[in-house]
Structure 1
Amino acid sequence: MKLERHSKIVELIGKHDITTQEELASYLNREGFHVTQATVSRDIRELRLMKVQTSDGKQKYAVFHPQNDFDDKYIRILHDSFLSMDMAQNILVIKTVSGMAMACAAALDNLRFPEVVGSIAGDDTVMCAIRSVDDTIVLMDKIRKLIAAG
């Protein structure tokens, strides 16, 4: 239930400018998640949400994407291991150089793409569960840009 609620929170803050814990709790309750303010507070902490400024000067919740020294390494791993990718609805299949799928999956996980629910890797194939078909298309574009820049 917690994983589903966390997934819904990320979806909601992506769709709406949610400014308070109470507002987030209200959205969750409308979606069928019966939560208290304490639960929402804990979820915000666990998801490492932060407040960012909107164009009109207000603040809203957003997923925190830390930029650190490791990002360049993860991008380099993607660049060096990537062969191709294709989608099947909301599943992204990435083909890698033999033996590099686990490193590629770890790089994807550590880059914290909000579209990715989870990934598994074999020897030369990574399969990522993506939140939606539209998110799969967005993620493929992001990966193409990262690989081109890497």
Structure 2
Amino acid sequence: MQKSERQAYIRQLIQDEVIERQSDFVTALEALDVPVTQATISRDIKDMQLVKVPMPNGHYRYSMPPEKQLAPLDKLRRTIAASFRHGDKMDQFVHLVMNPGTAPAVGNLIDQLEDQRIFATIAGDAAILIVCRSAEAAASVLDMFNAMVG
């Protein structure tokens, strides 16, 4: 299983259940037939920047950090509006030109969408190459970005 898929499960778990310990993640994921180790969960917690928040009973539970609680698409819209210069497509490829320094964050947000039209993203400093699953998907993805900036 890919890291992005496992982390999507983790995001869903902390929305649906009270997860107090790393071992709770391991148990819940194994119940979903997602084999993991405590070390993997520890790395995912760090990578996802999960935080522990207090509950009324005095215990603490894992949660997404406040800024990550926005849906990835909403964060992407906000970020694109401030950093997108232009985009183009060729066959199943979409090329986005961004303001310098913004492409890595936008590429990460695109990955978080887990959009089935997108096979992979490659982000440089000011440009992103999106490899789509088809030419039609590339046209649709480019239309999505153009619509975000109006």
TM-score, length of structure 1 as denominator length: 0.49
TM-score, length of structure 2 as denominator length: 0.49
